[in-house]
Each structure stands twice: as structure tokens, then as C-alpha cells.
Amino acid sequence: MDRVYTFDWYDGPRSGVADCNGRPYFFESQWADIGSSGKDWYMLSPIPAEVFVQETEYWNLWKRYEAGHAAGMIGAEHHPFLPADRPRGEALVRILEGQLKIDSKNHLIAQAEFLPMDKYAGQNKGAEMWVYWKILPTPPSESRKVDYDF
């Protein structure tokens, strides 16, 4: 089981940063399964340590905004940063632009099972998660995707 550090959510994790075998990777969904009963599959590429540190800093700034918004202390007009965090957050956006991507020559193919760290939090968009990666030799085709189900 590996830790998920950051993620974009749309009917499930679509991209983000998570460990795979103890090393941080950027992951990205490669199959839009909205309205489908099949499982997503992902491509994962390793990221440098400095990109990992910057991405998790960005995520923590976003989570501070999200907590303030959920508590009714700040409006949506300030999304995605608290006013005090905005200069650093915008700097991180510029630094990270183009850094989190799949490397066509250095990537893994996997299916994933995402689990919330806190079973009571469920899979809401801000919940911390674990992931089980199942590394695949090739991308699943429509006819073979059931071969890779957990």
C-alpha cells in the first residue's frame, strides 16, 4: 500500500502524486470511465525530489484554503489560496507548470485501488488516501480489461 499525496478528483482520482514502491510518482488516468463499469488504468512517471516537495507544499496551501472555505471563513472568490498564501501559491503554480507530466520513455502502467486513510472520511475530494498499484505489462484493451481487475 502506497500513500497518495495530492490528487485531482472527478468521479475518482484522475491525476496526482503518490508513492509507488517507496518513490514519488506523478500518476494520470488514461481511461475516462464515466458511465462505465470498468476500472481506470493509469500511467505513472517518477518525479524529482524537488518537484515532490513543491507539489506537496502547493497541496498544503490548497488544503488550508479548503478548510477555511468549508468552515465558512472565506469565500470561493479566493480559490484556491487563502489571501496570505496567494503569493507563494501563485509562485508554486509557475514553478510546477509543465513539471507534472507523464514521461513517454519512463513510465509504468497500472491499475489502482484507492482507499481513504480515515474510513469515516469516505472518498471525498479532500480525504487523504492510500493506493494499491497493480503494475501491468501493457495497457488493458476493451477485451482484456477484466483480466486486470482486483
Tens of pLDDT, residue by residue over 9-68, are 887 889 999 999 999 999 999 875 556 666 678 999 999 999 999 999 999 999 999 999
Same domain, 141 and 110: yes
Residue 111 in contact with residue 42, Cβ under 8 Å?
yes
Average pLDDT over residues 76-91: 96
Same domain, 55 and 74: yes
6: β partners: 17
In eight-state DSSP terms, residue 124 is -
Same domain, 66 and 108: no
Same domain, 107 and 79: no
pLDDT value for 30: 86
Same domain, 4 and 78: no
Average pLDDT over residues 65-92: 95
Same domain, 30 and 61: no
Rounded Cα distance between 94 and 88, Å, is 10
Q: How many domains does the chain have?
A: 2
Rounded Cα distance between 38 and 46, Å, is 26
Is pLDDT above 80 for 134?
yes
Residue predicted with more confidence, 95 or 40: 95
Question: Final residue of a domain: which of 99, 122, 137?
Answer: 99
Beta strands (DSSP E) in 68-148 are: 108-116, 129-136
Same domain, 148 and 107: yes
Same domain, 31 and 58: no
Residue predicted with more confidence, 48 or 121: 48
Is pLDDT above 60 for 123?
no
Same domain, 12 and 56: no
Same domain, 149 and 113: yes
Residue predicted with more confidence, 143 or 49: 49
Average pLDDT over residues 131-140: 92
134 contact partners, CB below 8 Å, separation of at least 6: 110, 111, 112, 113, 148, 150
pLDDT value for 94: 97
Whole-number average pLDDT of the chain? 87
Residue predicted with more confidence, 125 or 99: 99
pLDDT value for 139: 84
The identity of residue 12, as a single letter, is G
Chain centroid, CA 53 distance in Å: 15
Domain that holds residue 10: 1-46+102-150
Same domain, 108 and 42: yes
